[in-house]
Amino acid sequence: MKDKASFDSFSAIDMRAGTIIKVEESKTSKPTWRMTIDLGSELGTRVSCGAYTNYTAEELQGTQIICIINLGTMKMGPEKSEVLVLGVSDGAGGTIPLTTKKEVSNGECVF
């Protein structure tokens, strides 16, 4: 278990719902997808590189996910990841993206 975090630390994280609208092979050294995510009209689209290779591009495209949008840009080899798509291990080396139970408007804040 990680150290206890303060509520202020947690509330500083800006988590939003977004929909994966495009999935391409990334140019990173590790197998990752380059995903374009629609975060609604206010935030626009952002790119995330993620290790969701246990899914096909077609399976990911159209999926509404939860991501963190205020961590800054992370350079991953020649790629830039602008948001962090949240996920959990499937126990077999793959990653399952966190999704919404029901469809919500892209850009909706997670609290």
**Collapsing DSSP states into helix, strand and coil, what is residue 16?**
strand
Q: Which amino acid is at 36?
A: T
> What is the model's pTM?
0.92
Domain boundaries, the chain: 14-97
C-alpha distances in Å from residue 29, one per residue of 21, 26, 81, 82, 88: 23, 9, 14, 18, 22
Record: fold of 14-97: OB fold (Dihydrolipoamide Acetyltransferase, E2P) (2.40.50)
Mean pLDDT computed over 25-43: 93
Flag whether pLDDT at 10 surpasses 90: no
Q: Over 90: is that where the pLDDT of 28 sits?
A: no
